[in-house]
Every structure is written in C-alpha cells, then in structure tokens.
C-alpha cells in the first residue's frame, strides 16, 4: 500500500509549511489525485487518518478531488479523456496514447489556524 508513504509525504510537506509559515494546525486540506495517478483515494484517506493524530493534521477535514486523466492520441492527433491506463482512445479505439494529465498527486489548498 504505497498510499501510506504518499500520506507521509503530504504530512511532511504540510509540517514543513507549518514551521515556515508559523501555523499550528490545519483546518482543511484539499488534495488532487488524478485518475491516472495510481492512487487509491480511500486508502489515502485511511492513511491520512492514521498519521494525523499528534500532528498539525489532527482534526483536519480532507477533500480529495479525482480529475479524469487526459492523453494525446497519436492516430487522432487530439487530446482525449482517459479514465484509466490501458484503455483505448474513446474516439478511434487506438492504444497509441501518451498520458498528458491526471497523473498528479498534489496539495491544492490548506486552510490553517492556530490553537
């Protein structure tokens, strides 16, 4: 389950921000995990819940968006929506696709506060 290490990376990023920006807690954390990122969103939520106690994330609300993937289809020469890797182009059926979006896991927004 690589989501535990991903949650640890998110926690580390947020804690570094807390030291730099001098806040003591996170009220809400807004993440984006694209559908082609390979992230199981439920497992990531579970991992964040497990890591949060005793940290700046304790008591925070999580919002995790899952934007669809995008790929450039070589035969079509167009960008198409792709919900998962290994699927054909929805327009022409080709498997000659180059993913171009929806592969990211990133922090979009933090709402922070003090004790």
Domains observed in the chain: 3-67+102-113 (3.30.2320.50)
Distances (CA, A) of 109 to 17, 61, 87, 93: 12, 12, 31, 37
Per residue in 61-108, pLDDT tens? 999 999 999 999 999 999 999 988 889 999 999 999 999 999 999 999
* Spatial CA neighbour of 47 closest among 1, 94, 90, 113: 1
Q: What is the pTM of this model?
A: 0.85
Give the C-alpha separation, 40 to 50, whole Å: 15
């Amino acid at each position: 389950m690589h989501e535990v290490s991903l949650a640890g990376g998110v926690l580390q990023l947020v804690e570094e921000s807390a030291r730099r920006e001098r806040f003591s807690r996170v009220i809400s954390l807004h993440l984006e995990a694209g559908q082609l990122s390979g992230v199981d969103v439920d497992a990531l939520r579970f991992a964040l819940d497990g890591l949060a106690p005793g940290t700046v994330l304790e008591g925070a609300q999580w919002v995790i968006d899952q934007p669809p993937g995008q790929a450039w289809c070589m035969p079509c020469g167009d960008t198409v929506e792709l919900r998962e890797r290994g699927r054909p182009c929805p327009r022409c059926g080709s498997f000659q696709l180059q993913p171009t979006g929806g592969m990211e896991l990133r922090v979009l927004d933090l709402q922070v506060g003090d004790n």
